[in-house]
Structures are given as C-alpha cells and as structure tokens.
C-alpha cells in the first residue's frame, strides 16, 4: 500500500537534493540556462511533437548526467584518503560521461535547429 506521507517526504528529499546541486554546481546552472534557451527556441520555431520529445529526452539526460557526476564526485571525495590513486580517474570518467551526453544533445539540437536557423539567417 502506498503511504502518501512517505511519498511526499521522498519528493521533498529529491527536491532538496536538486536545489542543493543547482546552487552548488556551476555546470548544472549553465546547462539549465542552455536548456531553457533550447526550449525557447523550440517554442519560437514551433517544432514538431517528435522533436519536442527528443529535445526533452536529451535535456533530461544531460541534466541527470551532471547530477550523477556531482554525486559521484562527492563519493570520490569521501574515499580520497583511502583510495587516492583512483579518485582523479573516477572524476575524469564521470566528466567524460557528461561530455559525451552533452555532445550528443548538441548534435541532436543542430539536426533539429540548423535548417530553421539557416532559413532564418541564411539570406544575410
């Protein structure tokens, strides 16, 4: 049986983690601003429902990758005194995951927006 009080408590913890990460992680702030710009461009260009779904999916993946990276970095920092040689590698690997996710999102954004931008600015 679902306990509503516990459910709301869980959501509270999740939002607390989201807001804390947003306040403390510059990259998440930048990615959020970029996401809002992309969503605004989608509204301006009246993209199709399929394009909306794809944009929302990749935006979500980038933000989740960044939040996951932040969590793993914190875990690695806790382990630092014991497993010093792996901490840098762990952080680099997570940064690579965020980078690849972001590059995929940029490519998808270019596929969706390049023809529209070219049509808009190509005459100049």
Contact (CB, 8 A) for 55 and 38: yes
Q: Is the dihedral of CA 57, 25, 107, 48 positive or negative?
A: positive
Query: Residue 108 sits in a domain of what CATH number?
Result: 1.10.287.3610
The residue-averaged pLDDT of 25-38 equals 96
Residue 124 has pLDDT above 60, yes or no: no
**pTM score of the predicted model:** 0.87
Write out pLDDT tens, residues 51-82: 999 999 999 999 999 999 999 999 988 877 66
Separation of alpha carbons 91 and 53, rounded Å: 30
Q: Which domain holds residue 94?
A: 4-121
Q: Give residue 94's pLDDT.
A: 95
Q: How many domains does the chain have?
A: 1
Taking alpha carbons only, the member of 97, 98, 79 closest to residue 88 is 79
């Amino acid at each position: 049986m679902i306990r509503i009080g516990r459910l709301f408590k869980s959501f509270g913890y999740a939002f607390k983690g989201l807001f804390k990460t947003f306040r403390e992680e510059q990259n998440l702030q930048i990615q959020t601003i970029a996401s809002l710009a992309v969503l605004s461009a989608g509204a301006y260009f009246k993209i199709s429902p399929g394009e909306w779904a794809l944009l929302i999916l990749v935006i979500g993946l980038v933000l989740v990758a960044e939040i996951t990276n932040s969590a793993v970095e914190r875990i690695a920092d806790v382990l630092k005194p014991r497993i010093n040689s792996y901490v840098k590698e762990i952080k680099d690997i997570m940064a690579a995951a965020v980078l690849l996710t972001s590059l995929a999102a940029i490519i998808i954004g270019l596929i969706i927006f390049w023809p529209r931008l070219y049509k808009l600015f190509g005459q100049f």
